[in-house]
Amino acid sequence: MAGTRRMMGFRSVTITFLSAAMFCSQTVAFQSNVATPMITTARQTSELYSSMMDAPRNTASSPEMKKKDLRTFQRFLEVECWKNGDIRDLDRTLLAVADACKQINRIVQRAQTDDLYGAAIDPLTGELAEENVQGEVQQQLDVLCNTIMLRAFCGASNNVVCAVASEEEPLPRSCADVMGYDTSEFNIMQSGDYVAVFDPIDGSKNIDSSLPVGTVFGIYRAPDGASAGKDGLNLDSFLQRGTKMVAAGYCLYSATTVLVLTLGSGVHGFTLDPDKQKFLQTHPNIRIPDVGSLYSFNEANYREFSEPVQQFLTSMKQSGVVGGKKVSSRYVGALVADVHNVLINGGIYGYPATRDNVNGKLRLLYESAPMAMIMEQAGGAGSTGQGRILDVLPPQRKKNNGHNKGDDEPDDDEAGKGIHVRVPTYLGSVENVYELEQCFKFYGEDD
């Protein structure tokens, strides 16, 4: 009797499998107009699937995926730069940046298969490259992506950008120097009205784990009356408040490649079409929710945070629900990925000061300030915990009173400190950032 039940059960499973296979074959046959005989075995099912994959496709009867009719990034720039005469000359520069992001995207995708991951090697000595200004050993990707961004801003800007500053460089460089021109005499590449700042590949160590990374950039207008100094460069053009930025953006390399840009009149997002290799406007006029339930902090450092930050995080978790949604934590470890998540869903991103890093680890000029501009233009806020990020003035160059230099000649070493100065950074929905600042006012600073 037991054997009969087992046999009946086996027959039941077989019939069920055959019925499902017949249904699937009939459905596929209807869509592809491929004749499908009765299937009786798993082998026949496999053979049928293979024959269907090899069969010529009848495009007249099989539905194809339709592309959305979306505006291209190039068209967006043409219209926006036409509307705003003050930034009309930046369209070619920003198009070059978009092309650079496409190149970096391909490099990121091929980093493992093309052996592009790991520490950079000095081609002359065969030894590891020197540490960058951040005290980190430069990675191959850092060096390669830095070169791509340098040439995008300098080589295709039609002499609009006169100098650039990068996370990977100790001091800014004139575009004439980047492009290999003689800087001892004036040349056309020193006549630009803008300077650009960028982090070419934020979170490059994430690539080894196939996690998101990104590029951050900002463009400042050179101050009125600024004149080129040594090497055709005016370092003071970079040491400005974030309020002087005319454009800021980032590119996220993840499941999709997304370019987010603000020109001072809203925030717009563009997704890279993998077929056309064009950025298409998929996120027009991005607005961050006024309050969000998401918080993005590295809580492994919780004990190192100051009391105001600890109190804020504790309060948010204990509340359970914020803005009608359950509180949740997301932290990828790459600035662009974490901020993009907060921008789309609402909430707050934070990189606080710690005992070991009293000013945090994010750099004001080319990370915190561009992201703060994007957040504010999307209806959010950017704060140091003590005030607005965009109002922070980088340390200015002090005049050198030594005997080898004139009293009126500033010290370039001081400029390096200003270029790479760090600030605690909090970005997100206005309600969340406001509550964080209130914690700083109530609990005071942790000495």
What's the maximum distance between 2 C-alpha atoms anywhere in the chain?
108
Q: Which residues contact 226 (CB under 8 A, 6 or more apart)?
A: 234, 236, 237
So what's the pLDDT on residue 14?
Answer: 44
Q: Phi/psi of residue 95, each to 5°?
A: -65, -40
**Whole-angstrom distance, CA of residue 165 vs CA of residue 179:** 14
Low pLDDT (below 50) residues in the chain: 2, 4-40, 48-49, 59-62, 403, 405-407, 446-447
Q: Please, what is the Cα angle at 296 between 291 and 137, to 5 degrees?
A: 145
Distance in angstroms (rounded) separating the CA atoms of residues 233 and 172:
8
Give the pLDDT confidence score for residue 252 in this predicted structure: 97
Residue 152's pLDDT is what? Answer: 95
Cα angle 123-124-127, degrees, rounded to a multiple of 5: 70
Residue with tokens 């980032």, as numbered in its chain: 250
Q: What are phi and psi of 149, to 5 degrees?
A: -70, -40
Per-residue pLDDT of 35-58, as tens digits, reads 444 444 555 555 544 555 555 555
For the entire predicted model, the pTM comes to: 0.81
pLDDT of residue 140: 82
- Interacting residues of 10 by C-beta distance below 8 A, sequence separation 6+: none
- Confidence (pLDDT) at 7: 45
